[in-house]
Structure 1
Amino acid sequence: MYYEEADKPAHARTSNLNEELGQVDTILSDKTGTLTCNSMEFIKCSVAGTAYGRGFTEVERSMGRRNGSPIHETVTGGEDSTDEAPIKGFNFKDERIMNGNWVDEPHADLIQKFFRLLAVCHTAIPEVDEGTGKVLYEAESPDEAAFVIAARELGFEFYKRTQTSISVRELDRASGKKVERLYTLLNVLEFNSSRKRMSVIVRNEEGKVLLLCKGADNVMFERLAKNGREFERETKEHLNGYADAGLRTLILAYRELEEHEFNEFNAKFTKAKNSISADRETLIDEVTDKIEKGLILLGATAVEDKLQNGVPDCIDKLAQAGIKIWVLTGDKMETAINIGFACSLLRQGMKQIMITLESQQIKMLEKEGDKDAITTTSRASILQQITRGKDQLTASSGGSEAFALIIDGKSLAYALEDGMKSMFLDLAIGCASVICCRSSPKQKALVTRLVKSGTGKTTLAIGDGANDVGMLQEADIGVGISGVEGMQAVMSSDIAIAQFRYLERLLLVHGHWCYRRISSMICYFFYKNITFGLTLFLYEASTSFSGQPAYDDWFLSLYNVFFSSLPVVAMGVFDQDVSARFCLKFPLLYQEGVQNVLFSWRRILGWMFNGLISAVIIFFFCMKALEPHAFNQDGKTAGRDILGATMYTCTVWVVNLQMALAISYFTLIQHLFIWGSIALCGLGTRASSNDPEFCDIVRQRSLRPTTVGFTARLAARTNIVRR
């Protein structure tokens, strides 16, 4: 589980959850940066109702293979063929707007505004590469880096930033030469998970105040002005196509602000930013919400985030192991569905139960703005859809059909309400896969809490960014991906890995081994201590509870320190019932832990009964072996010391041989600990005797050399029969 490319090994940040790795019933996963590389490439865009960009995504290729018509890309000469090394973050090909050709397009002025917005609306920091002289960018997110790189490659190069300004080199349409333009930076309205957009307010060289905004389509379209929707229909069509191709999309829009309007906003915004009250963020959001309205649509961007290597195979193996997989993503439903097919989360023949709030009735109510009616109708619609989904599951019960549940963020908000969440959970746990689209970080945490508390089974959450922290903390096991979005997820996790595909080995191999090791180790502790304790009890009972101890105090102290614990520790560290290859080849072995086969009450009581039988056999055979020697003519009889030493030696032999029978995979250390414990017991018995010579004489005259060994072998054989 070492990722050589980034030099990142797996790291366990806690040692208390090893056995739970073998009992995971549900995995809740983020998508971006977890299933995907989080390495964004600008591949397509829609400007003024015209789609630009050619090429196919991994999702489109997957769809082609799924439909029986694989895509074969051909590279032809001309603009699209080049021997240049690929530019990280930029995989765009379209001669219509590359190399300055955009000036000849019908909507050249809007194309100019579109790429100006990409070059200005961000928080990236430019750095000049001394080797190549090219401007490189340090951005808060891979998306933002891809946007400024795309703007640079298409002729709008952001090259300088100060506290109060942004400088851009661009092609002047009139002269056909590169010119430098300075934009005075007035305000930055930062992105957050509730706003789902970011804006900057700048003053251009003509003195105009512009608000430049980019964000998710579900929040941007509702903020457009009536005269800013000229290309809305075409843009939505392109967005649907991009979503089908598995691309991440953002809407770009702008508006011009009047001077007095900006001054009024700036005063309120400054006051909200300077507030020290607990609701400071709410105040800022309220102020920014009022200014980010009446926007004019420019177009949409589409970036590709490729799947990590091995993700489809990993998800397929986890599904074969009987683990349910939920993906919680902020992407559009269409994007999430197609990514689901590409990564094997959704499969051919799997029936999809879709829960959305896209009905015509709700859309009409949204236009009217009646919030109470929207809430009532939406709640009733979600309840109806959940009930219908449960009916589908009930109708197919006993069949071989697999179901997938897909729900969007708005619907999820209602489904998580107190009166509905139990029904939603019943529906979800009946499905093999669940995809929650457009979900916020808070919703991710709430869903994780619902699954954890509602099912009572072990949940594992995996994510890579700060927006996944709540989800990781709510789950029984949090796995952080050490990716490109910082270390917040890793710092909040129990285990850190570098790639999603390592989850397969972590659970199916190490989880399976750890569950077996710890379960067997605990059961064996019950066994060996019951065996030891009951021999004492039987001895006391046979002496009418005289209070005379059977064992020396040193024997009592060292039994659990040296003579019986080291082998079980070795088993808990090294034992393997099957090899790693077989764990991966037969994923259903993992169900042993999910169903808690090895640590059920039946198994625990079986080990305890085994200890009882062992104790009875050891005691009565030792008593029977010494019975003829209770009286000797020379007066040297086998008394309490000899009986105690014999019982103790037999107990150590039996529990260690039982340990040897329980071990599936022997190593040199296990041999050393088992036979070393038995040898130490013999040395300890001799060293603790007050009269070694006397004891040797008694053993030689009273006991056959094979008596102890025979008793130990008989007890071990009895235990084999019991098992």
Structure 2
Amino acid sequence: MMATGGGDGRRRGRRRSKMRLSRLYSFACGRRPTAVDDESSSRIGGPGFTRVVNANGGGGIPEYGYRSNSVSTTKYNVVTFVPKSLLEQFRRVANIYFLISACLTYTNLAPYTSASAVAPLVLVLLATMVKEAIEDWRRKQQDTEVNNRKTKVLQDGAFHSTKWMNLQVGDIVKVEKDEFFPADLILLSSSYEDAICYVETMNLDGETNLKLKQSLEASSGLQEDDSFNSFRAVIRCEDPNPHLYSFVGNIEIEEQQYPLSPQQILLRDSKLRNTEYVYGVVIFTGHDTKVMQNAMKAPSKRSKIERKMDRIIYLLLSALVLISVIGSVFFGIATRDDLQDGRPKRWYLRPDDSTIYFKPTKAAISAILHFFTAMMLYGNFIPISLYISIEIVKLLQALFINQDIHMYHEETDTPAHARTSNLNEELGQVDTILTDKTGTLTCNSMEFIKCSIAGIAYGRGITEVERAMAKRKGSPLIADMASNTQGSQAAIKGFNFTDERVMNGNWVSQPHSGVIQMFFRLLAVCHTCIPEVDEESGTISYEAESPDEAAFVVAARELGFTFYQRTQTGVFLHELDPSSGKQVDRSYKLLHVLEFNSARKRMSVIVRNEEGKIFLFSKGADSVMFERLSSSDCAYREVTQDHINEYADAGLRTLVLAYRQLDEAEYANFDRKFTAAKNSVSADRDEMIEEAADLLERKLILLGATAVEDKLQKGVPECIDKLAQAGIKIWVLTGDKMETAINIGYACSLLRQGMTQITITLEQPDIIALEKGGGDKAAVAKASKENVVKQINEGKKRIDGSVVGEAFALIIDGKSLTYALEEDAKGALMDLAVGCKSVICCRSSPKQKALVTRLVKESTGKVSLAIGDGANDVGMIQEADIGVGISGAEGMQAVMASDVSIAQFRFLERLLLVHGHWCYSRISAMICYFFYKNITFGVTLFLYEAYTSFSGQTFYNDWALSTYNVFFTSLPVIAMGVFDQDVSARFCLRYPMLYQEGPQNLLFRWSRLLGWMAYGVASGVIIFFLTSAALQHQAFRRGGEVVDLAILSGTAYTCVVWAVNAQMTVTANYFTLVQHACIWGSVALWYVFLLAYGAITPAFSTNYFMLFTDGLAAAPSYWVVTLLVPAAALLPYFTYSAAKTRFFPDYHNKIQWLQHRGSNADDPEFGHALRQFSVRSTGVGVSARRDARDLHLPPPSQSHSHSQTTST
């Protein structure tokens, strides 16, 4: 180890006295390496391991061209904005059509002026670009906030504060307690003498428990700022990659190389906890960091409705081409037949003065050129303002989502935020939700709530699951819950236990007081927590590797066993002495700590008390602890197992507590074997350690079991139940271990007693033996994959052979998921998952979460929604059709990558069932209406063309054509898209099955679309023929002139405007003053246009000059026709709507009937029947748990697990 100068004593004096956990053996922290091993050194410099970092050399980026530490989640920059946004716009086929049409208007083929064709297209493109710019600017601001965070970096011999974005590879940084790591670092030293530190990785893997990291011994002496002035090192390591849990490299210090492992790497966006400061060298920056490598590039998402709109546009374009061909053919025939004796028959039309190519001698050429004229002429079949109208509507819908007070979280002052408005209607079509656990379903708070000691159950607290079930049943248990738990919840974090039999020292009078004493003593001793005493108040708080460990220590403290100090070799308690009733100080010498891991499923400590007796204290999962109990100790084993099952049914996490006293010879024998195993450098070192521990952890004496509530966010069980009733499937993807994931599944009612679990895991004896045997990696991988595929196939067979109504849950770990997601296995995995009511993927890496999300999205073809709160969720949030970020939690990565952010999971219920349904219903109706009104308008154009031998003469004035979609019909449809409510919010939540109209696409299916199009054709036909017939013999103007083109077109245009706007009044389900103003204002605007436009010089207004004042307004027939013809055009809709609502009502029609009739409904039983129809048997949720109990389903098989488990 290199020298670091004097002052060691002074430095140690300035440090806080804390436990140096790395000096105790744990499975998490192995021996500190002192030399490069052959395996790692042989890989350095090869493919994938080419990175070289000059620590404190200052030449990282210029010398090697490494990326800066600035990160960007924006879609555009200053250079790419215009081309990329235009490219995005022209992904829409309608815009391509209008661009071509606009270009053709500069030729002689155009039936109208180029300005009237170009202006609407430019307006549409500019409006959408402005929207995109605003949304991307918001992303830029959030990126800037992250990039401008401050950290300390070594510059000119001292540590100075600098922005994260200015860090370079090779910089030495100093990170202090509760700060996030600004880049991926190699730990050099810390405030602890043995250079350990505690790291919270919640933003990476979702886990809240602290991870222990330790630097190499060669750099651990660098304890002060000035000790780095002469420090130099060269790091050679792997290239940037997304693997969070692996790292290969070495560091050269003073010409000596040392191997690096994941134990020395500190990842960006993880947080330093319980450590005053650490020093590290930057190895990966910006988008090279592992967290950013796991974040896929933000895609440009398009909703399924928008993609379907393109197909509709293709359909309309095909229709447009067809009628243009028909028109051109008839035009060619008419042109050919117009020649008589070498002269045109219709010489009075002066065809030689026309811009239209009209040569009877070349009729075919005339027909071909007329085709392009017709394509422009009938362009109103394609709604140019549809896209911009939808953009405006979605922006306003997003504004209402943002302003919804029911999705505002007052505690954190966090409203809902629709970060992009492109996907509003997708919120109403979600088929599958893929959710993270930690920070998403839970609020990162564990509470000790119940326990079983010596076969007696203690604790009267009510869990979230029990509360939700009681609420649905209307049970008085709710009142009891309020009185029993409210005070404790508010007073002590992590402690929600109430039972007068053991509180306030009353346990000393219990029949088994000795067992109770040993139970709480075990809780106070068997852990790795570190106490911190507040110097001002004297209160003790605990830093723990897991939140449930903290809850155990707090529970022990509240019940008379206060853990107040830890040294390297001892644990010190204030214990309640049963004989005196007073607090006494007791110390326990800590001999060994055997830490928990997923394979052991237990933790043990070996201690010596003040009398010299040696005890083994152990706690762990019931599945491993019961088999380790002494065969003679079975007095309350079965009762304890029953209590554990009850706790599991209440959604609680359980652990079994047991102990045994060791004699000196037994301990000495264990200590010798254990020490030899620790010091071994052979390949089977870990197996030797496990064998030594396994021999000691047997013949245990049962004390009881704990029950801790993994505190769910408020309203999570109810929200999941409501979403399940809406027909939405819910998958949990978490980085937590399998036991934790299963417990949270019970807590939020995704799992329940009686549900058969299909567990796919590679924790199989044959696979473990193969891995520990040091076999060929390819052989291990092949055997692992075959094992996983076998388990999947056996699971499918179980489902196929099951009885009707049997509920299955699929639980798969990350290692198995690696093989199950391969191309030839993922189809079988998806088939199995579809047959299960619940799916839980545990120990999932961020990449796996994204791949599972992609699998669900691509396999089902339906809308998927991913929701999470940490950087480890970014991949799946971006991969899903809709990404929802939970804001308010630490870190902004999930929110920055999301499409919508909310503060709590429970707000997802209102976001989907209310806003999602409304947006889907509104957008669907809006698009159908758009095509209806454009087809109505276009049909009148086509019919006039047919009357004029398809001459290419426009029926309407140029600017009247161009302004139809922009001024006279767009505002009402925008108002409907923003304000319409087919069903109120209360009824949306009361009848969740209404939501299925979205996933089943009932409101935007082809039959509905084609029906509206057919209705548009019918309306156009009615308007044109009735208007033409009614005006055929009418006189206009003062001179008594008969109808001319201007009069006919002006009247027909008025009828169209009235008809399509009046249609809005009968289509809308909900009216506001804004909607009325838009509908009647649009109609009035047409008359204002006639007056204003007609007053302009004839050179511009052409045949509409003084049309209204001189021609239309003074004629009574005009007013009669514009009153009766629109009414006749609406008659088909009235007839169809009345018949359908009366005889074939949709689900929302039934709810509308209830809503409108209210308490005066003639048949109150209809409402009850409808409600029952809306409640579906889903197999998951609080309702399913309640129904299972009510039906007295048979209990699960008596095993060590909480439910029937198939570990195939």
TM-score of the pair, normalised by structure 2: 0.46
User: Does 2:429 align with 1:23?
Assistant: yes
**Structure 1 match to 2:1128:** 714
Contact 2:737 2:843 in 1 (8 A): no
**Structure 1 match to 2:834:** 429
Alignment of 1:18-57 (within 5 A): 18-43=424-449, 54-55=458-459
Amino acid at match of 1:500: F
**How far off its partner does 1:380 sit?**
2.6
Whole-angstrom distance in 1 between the partners of 2:879 and 2:569: 41
Contact 2:980 2:1068 in 1 (8 A): yes
CA deviation profile, 1:470-529 (whole Å, cap 9, x unmatched): 443333223333465655444443323333333322222222111100001111111222
Q: Which of 412, 417, 422 is residue 11 of structure 1 equivalent to? A: 417
Whole-angstrom distance in 2 between the partners of 1:45 and 1:51: 10
**Structure 1 match to 2:408:** 2
Q: 1:213 to 1:417 in 2, by over 3 A?
A: farther
CA deviation profile, 1:653-689 (whole Å, cap 9, x unmatched): 1111112221110100000000000001111012111
Amino acid at match of 2:419: R
User: Does 2:1093 align with 1:679?
Assistant: no
**Structure 1 match to 2:1032:** 627
Partner of 2:1009, secondary structure, is helix
Contact 2:435 2:730 in 1 (8 A): yes
User: Does 2:1111 align with 1:698?
Assistant: yes
CA deviation profile, 1:409-461 (whole Å, cap 9, x unmatched): 27953654544432332343244x21426443455444333222111111223
Contact 2:719 2:906 in 1 (8 A): yes
Whole-angstrom distance in 2 between the partners of 1:336 and 1:580: 33
Partner of 1:549, secondary structure, is coil
Contact 2:811 2:841 in 1 (8 A): yes
**Structure 1 match to 2:57:** none
**How far off its partner does 1:355 sit?**
1.8
Amino acid at match of 2:1134: I
Contact 1:637 1:698 in 2 (8 A): no
Whole-angstrom distance in 2 between the partners of 1:72 and 1:641: 77
CA deviation profile, 1:8-37 (whole Å, cap 9, x unmatched): 332222212211111112223344544444
Amino acid at match of 2:854: R
**Structure 2 match to 1:500:** 905
Whole-angstrom distance in 2 between the partners of 1:325 and 1:441: 19
Whole-angstrom distance in 2 between the partners of 1:196 and 1:491: 38
Q: 1:561 to 1:721 in 2, by over 3 A?
A: same
**How far off its partner does 1:592 sit?**
1.2
**Structure 2 match to 1:405:** 809
Amino acid at match of 1:661: V
Whole-angstrom distance in 1 between the partners of 2:1087 and 2:746: 64
**Structure 1 match to 2:647:** 245
Whole-angstrom distance in 1 between the partners of 2:914 and 2:436: 23
Q: Which of 769, 790, 794 is residue 380 of structure 1 equivalent to? A: 790
Contact 1:33 1:483 in 2 (8 A): no
Q: 1:573 to 1:116 in 2, by over 3 A?
A: same
Alignment of 1:51-450 (within 5 A): 54-55=458-459, 58=462, 86-91=491-496, 115-116=524-525, 118=527, 121=528, 126=532, 128=534, 130=536, 132-136=537-541, 142-143=547-548, 145-146=550-551, 149-150=554-555, 153=558, 155=561, 157=563, 170-171=573-574, 178=585, 242=644, 245-246=647-648, 247-248=652-653, 295=693, 303-328=708-733, 343-345=748-750, 352-356=755-759, 363=765, 366=768, 376=786, 379-392=789-802, 396=804, 401=805, 403-409=807-813, 413=817, 415-431=820-836, 433-436=837-840, 438-442=842-846, 443-450=848-855
**How far off its partner does 1:569 sit?**
0.6
User: Does 2:950 align with 1:536?
Assistant: no
CA deviation profile, 1:157-176 (whole Å, cap 9, x unmatched): 45799xxx999754599998
Contact 2:563 2:571 in 1 (8 A): yes
Contact 1:441 1:471 in 2 (8 A): no
Contact 1:630 1:637 in 2 (8 A): yes
455-464 or 420-429, which moves further after superposition?
Answer: 420-429
Partner of 1:478, secondary structure, is strand
Partner of 2:908, secondary structure, is helix
**How far off its partner does 1:331 sit?**
7.2
Partner of 1:665, secondary structure, is coil
Q: 1:353 to 1:199 in 2, by over 3 A?
A: closer
Q: 1:107 to 1:598 in 2, by over 3 A?
A: closer
> 5+ residue gaps in structure 2?
1-406, 481-486, 609-615, 660-666, 774-779, 1099-1104, 1138-1208
238-247 or 527-536, which moves further after superposition?
Answer: 238-247
Whole-angstrom distance in 2 between the partners of 1:406 and 1:697: 77
Q: 1:367 to 1:98 in 2, by over 3 A?
A: farther
**Structure 1 match to 2:862:** 457
Amino acid at match of 2:807: F
Partner of 1:436, secondary structure, is strand
Whole-angstrom distance in 2 between the partners of 1:592 and 1:570: 22
Amino acid at match of 1:38: N
Identity of aligned residues (%): 50
Alignment of 1:547-696 (within 5 A): 547-629=952-1034, 634=1039, 636-689=1041-1094, 690=1097, 695-696=1108-1109
Amino acid at match of 1:567: P
Q: Which of 508, 511, 514 is residue 916 of structure 2 equivalent to? A: 511
TM-score of the pair, normalised by structure 1: 0.72
Whole-angstrom distance in 2 between the partners of 1:240 and 1:410: 31
462-471 or 421-430, which moves further after superposition?
Answer: 462-471
**How far off its partner does 1:292 sit?**
8.7
> 5+ residue gaps in structure 1?
76-81, 205-211, 223-227, 266-285
Q: 1:702 to 1:489 in 2, by over 3 A?
A: closer
Whole-angstrom distance in 2 between the partners of 1:46 and 1:293: 30
Whole-angstrom distance in 2 between the partners of 1:147 and 1:685: 80
Q: 1:667 to 1:215 in 2, by over 3 A?
A: farther
Whole-angstrom distance in 1 between the partners of 2:790 and 2:1062: 65
**How far off its partner does 1:313 sit?**
3.5
Q: 1:460 to 1:714 in 2, by over 3 A?
A: same
Q: 1:696 to 1:152 in 2, by over 3 A?
A: same
CA deviation profile, 1:209-240 (whole Å, cap 9, x unmatched): xxx9999869x979xxxxx9999x99999799
Whole-angstrom distance in 1 between the partners of 2:503 and 2:1038: 116
**How far off its partner does 1:567 sit?**
0.6
CA deviation profile, 1:335-369 (whole Å, cap 9, x unmatched): 86776566454578xx734323699x955775686
Whole-angstrom distance in 1 between the partners of 2:997 and 2:519: 61
Whole-angstrom distance in 2 between the partners of 1:173 and 1:318: 48
Amino acid at match of 1:8: T
Contact 2:925 2:1003 in 1 (8 A): yes
Work out the number of aligned pairs and report it.
665
**Structure 2 match to 1:281:** none
Contact 1:240 1:334 in 2 (8 A): no
Q: 1:88 to 1:96 in 2, by over 3 A?
A: closer
